[in-house]
Amino acid sequence: MDDTYVDKGLENVVAAETRLSSIDGEAGELVIGGFPLAELAANATFEETVFLLWNDRLPTADELDDLRDDLREHRAISDETRNLLREAADRGQSAMDALRMGAASATLARTDGESPERDALVAVAQLPTAAATYWRYRTGEEPLDPRSDLGHAANYLYMLTGEEPSDAATRGLETYLNTVVDHGLNASTFAARAIVSTESDVVSAVTGAVGSLKGPLHGGAPGPVLDMLFDVRDTGDPEGYVEETLDAGERLMGFGHRVYRVRDPRAEVLSAAAERFYADDGDEAFFEFAREFEETAVDVLAERRPDLTLQTNVEFYTAVLLNGIGVPRDLFTPTFGVARVGGWTAHCLEQLEDNRIVRPRARYVGETGRTWTPVENR
């Protein structure tokens, strides 16, 4: 009998050493590249955060300019990718299906050679273009070429809306991208590291990670959070909604997390970012309603489920913030991917520094001792 310990979900298995992020679920702390999340997310540009993850330090001014130039140079997608995204939109494929297709074809137009570092650059640069191109086709509009005079976050919003975003919207998105860029060895990041550990290419690893993120158990809840908030705002009965949801045995979207036993530190950062945005450039009444709903939900959850610690998670204020700055609801999860590709690529590069193929074991629980029976005798 095989008495090997089985940890389903690998929750307690340490499969890698990383310098990229550290999570303390009990204390509610997240460190990105050595920086407390709140400090990095609210101050850095996304380009600075990506450089930090790739190089383990912040860039100098010249290095930051060079990275921005490199990203701008690689933002454009190939005609073949554009046609693929048009077809996906015409056939009604989901936004995450389209993002997976865009990721997989990111190197079709490669003209500058292949290396893990170059593939990482291409993936980070092109995922926003792929998401925006798909969305423009889906809404019956022609896609927009990337603008070289805009930073990474501002350009994404421009390609979605056709309008140059406000400073408040750009800062709001910048903070969001930084907040969710990396989060330990989550499902999509593990998928990316496992793929690249075979010495496959970084673009293949990113494509696999997008496939993992597509699953509703990983990246699919911010949209339903927004739907919930709109429904409750219309009924005007937050407490009644929470009670009815719990009575039906359903999950209350935006609350509870597998790792955190206190309020998700990302929710803390994004709620502050949302408050700043809505004060400058948004519907303050909606933000105040969302905050009141959060308070009500946390109180009811504590009363109804005192055995669990069900606090606000990142998805709640992701929905509030992204809705405010103009990201369509159906692009919430793809926009998560636009951010997380910075972490995925950093993990790929880190894996390759001291690579060992990811090869866990499985315990066999099937039948033994079977004998073959010809088909005519079965």
Q: How far apart are CA 96 and CA 337, in angstroms?
A: 9
Residue 75: phi and psi, rounded to 5, are -70, -35
Judge whether 26 counts as a catalytic residue: no
Q: How far apart are CA 210 and CA 100, in angstroms?
A: 6
Residue 273 tokens, joined:
């970012």
Residue 300 tokens, joined:
């009811």
User: What burial class does residue 371 get, using C-beta atoms within 10 Å of its C-beta: 0-12 exposed, 13-18 middle, 19+ buried?
Assistant: exposed
Given CA atoms 300, 277, 328, 39 in this order, what sign does their dihedral have?
A: negative
Considering the candidates 257, 268, 275, 294, report the single residue annotated as catalytic: 257
Considering the candidates 47, 48, 315, 350, report the single residue annotated as catalytic: 315
Given CA atoms 23, 71, 89, 83 in this order, what sign does their dihedral have?
A: negative
Residue 151 CA, distance from chain mean position: 19
Judge whether 367 counts as a catalytic residue: no
What residue has token string 């996304």? Answer: 46
Report which residue type is found at 82.
R
- Convert 270-282 to b/e letters by CB count within 10 Å (16 or more is b): bbbbbbbbbeebb
Instruction: Give catalytic residue positions.
Output: 257, 315
